[in-house]
Amino acid sequence: MTAMSRWSVMALVVAMSCTHAAPAPTHAPSPPRVVVAPPPPLPPPPLDRDPPRFVDQLLELFDAVAAAMTGPCDEVTAKLGALADHYAEVIAVSSKLATEGRTGELRKAVDARRDKLVAAGHAIMAAPALASCGRDPAFVAALDKVIRP
């Protein structure tokens, strides 16, 4: 071998021995974690298609009417007017179900709350304002608006 070739071979051996080992294979990065949020809850069905919710709100209305039936007639009338506004949807659904002959759809929901509904009805009938304001046309109109379908 010639001197040049020896130097070339030696340089090649030295160069090969000085190289670092090949880097360990790296794993591909994990894909980003996707968090899927659950869908938002569905809105409740319309009140006229949800008898338990309707009857619960009707019971709230009756309890509120019974509680409002104390005091001077003009105050009771004003309270009943405010309740008519607050429970307008319940009153409208009550009227709609009665007009469309759909009150039978409420039977199961009413049966489950019968005692409370009867108690609320008795409280309204026993309220002092019913006797003392019964001849006041504004009171009668306000009461009719909240309890008649």
The SS3 call for residue 95 is: helix
Q: Which of 92, 109, 106, 71 is closest to 149 using CA atoms?
A: 92
Confidence of residue 20 (pLDDT cuts 50, 70, 90): low
Number of domains in the chain: 1
For residue 135, pLDDT over 70 is answered with: yes
In a domain, 142, yes or no: yes
Query: Residue 144 and residue 100: Cα distance in Å, rounded?
Result: 19
What is the pLDDT, as a whole number, of residue 85?
A: 96
Q: Is the pTM of this model over 0.75?
A: no
* Token duo for residue 45: 């069905």
Residue 71 lies in a domain: yes
For 122, the domain range is: 47-147
